Amino acid sequence: MNNVHLELSRVGISFPTPKGPFCALKDVDLKIKKGEFVSLIGHSGCGKSTVLNIVAGLYQASTGGVVLNGREVNEPGPERAVVFQNHSLLPWLTAYQNVELAVKRVFGRSKSRREMREWIEHNLELVQMGHALHKKPDEISGGMKQRVGIARALAMEPQVLLMDEPFGALDALTRAHLQDSLMEIQADLGNTVIMITHDVDEAVLLSDRIVMMTNGPAATVGEILDIELPRPRDRLALADNPEYNHYRSAVLRFLYEKQRKVEPIATRRGTAGSSGKSKHHAA
């Protein structure tokens, strides 16, 4: 693949535990092009978040490494902005101030005060939060908080946008609304995005590629599915689209046949001891 923007090569990580090192990830290989939207999907505890945290630089890989634009990633930085699962806004700052904190860090030298103010407002309007610039996180809904979190990440003009289950804590309607917003914004800005999700529909709807991960321990990339649906995508039109349903069932088959986590109750009863152990590892 030419034109590689972000490359994970043979990334592995193990955590020390009292029983010796626990290998969470092993040999994760992934090449991502500029402007690509990649979803990571897998059962909980399979190490999706760990992959994202390594790309973000919040964790250090034990083996292998991450290369962004020809440079190895060793520490966190604003060129790899993260949208956290639970928004992680500073509760003592308003929406505007939360975005301002990031903008000041990234553009404090290159933009004037007025340019920064316009840039902050522009980004908050991009996520349709222009009406609540000066509200604190306590005063707005969960979906709105997540919007501000996305605005904060976008305002850093990151080379890669990392999203850790950004819509996981939201109700279905809000989630659909935010997914549409995200698709629009991505079509406009052409960000490279890595998104973690549990939601098969969300993955197929938003992604250019879906990376399906095997179960831990020593989780790795199981299959990669290219989604060749034309953009812009419309969730209603796609609902009856055979191609869409084909992608959907491919992901489902991977998750529930090849990487079956939930064993039939009868077999689980027979092997209660061993399943309990594997559950512990997964957690």
Partner 1 sequence: MNPAIAIRQKWQHTDLGKTQWLAISRAVALPILGLLLFMGLWHIGAQQVDTSLGTFPGPVEVKQQWHNLLSEHQAENQREAAFYERQQERNEKKLAANPDADIKWRDFNRRPTFFDQIITSLITVMTGFLLATVIAIPLGICIGLSNNMYRALNPIIQIFKPVSPLAWLPLVTMVVSAVYVTDDPMFAKSFITSVVTVTLCCLWPTMVNTAVGVASIGQDLKNVSRVLRLGWLTHVKTIVLPASIPMMFTGLRLSLGIAWMVLIAAEMLAQNPGLGKFVWDEFQNGSSDSLGRICVAVLMIGFIGFLLDRALLLLQSRVNWDKNAVMR
Distant-in-sequence, close-in-space partners of 239: CB < 8 Å, separation ≥ 6: none
> Interacting stretch for partner 1, rule CB under 8 A, among 2-10, 52-60, 220-228, 272-280?
52-60
Residue 136 binds partner 1, judged by CB under 8 A: yes
Instruction: Give burial (CB, 10 Å; 0-12/13-18/19+) of 168.
Output: middle
Contact (Cβ atoms closer than 8 angstroms) between residue 214 and residue 42? yes
Residue 90 binds partner 1, judged by CB under 8 A: yes
Q: Which of 35, 84, 261, 278 binds partner 1 (CB under 8 A)?
A: 84
Residue 176 binds partner 1, judged by CB under 8 A: no
Q: Which of 64, 77, 168, 222 binds partner 1 (CB under 8 A)?
A: 77
Number of other residues whose CB lies within 10 A of the CB of residue 187: 12
Residue 102 binds partner 1, judged by CB under 8 A: yes
> Interacting stretch for partner 1, rule CB under 8 A, among 32-40, 81-89, 211-219, 251-259?
81-89
Q: How many residues does the chain have?
A: 283
Residue 150 binds partner 1, judged by CB under 8 A: no
Q: Say how far residue 57 (Cα) sits from the centre of its chain.
A: 14
Residue 15 binds partner 1, judged by CB under 8 A: no
Phi, psi of 195, deg, nearest 5: -125, 135
Contact (Cβ atoms closer than 8 angstroms) between residue 196 and residue 262? no
Query: How far is Cα 162 from Cα 115, in angstroms, rounded to an integer?
Result: 26
Smallest distance, partner 1 to C-beta of residue 53, A: 8
Q: Which of 86, 128, 181, 275 binds partner 1 (CB under 8 A)?
A: 86
Query: How far is Cα 26 from Cα 73, in angstroms, rounded to an integer?
Result: 18
Closest CA to 102 of 136, 78, 73, 134: 78
Residue 61 binds partner 1, judged by CB under 8 A: no
Query: How far is Cα 41 from Cα 195, in angstroms, rounded to an integer?
Result: 9
Query: How far is Cα 281 from Cα 218, in angstroms, rounded to an integer?
Result: 10
Give the residue with the Cβ less far from partner 1, 86 or 278.
86
Give the residue with the Cβ less far from partner 1, 152 or 233.
152
Residue 88 binds partner 1, judged by CB under 8 A: yes
Residue 168 binds partner 1, judged by CB under 8 A: no
Q: Which of 29, 44, 69, 92 binds partner 1 (CB under 8 A)?
A: 92
Smallest distance, partner 1 to C-beta of residue 8, A: 18
Query: How far is Cα 127 from Cα 35, in angstroms, rounded to an integer?
Result: 19
Q: Which residues bind partner 1 (CB under 8 A)?
A: 56-58, 75-78, 80-82, 84, 86, 88, 90-93, 101-102, 105, 136, 138
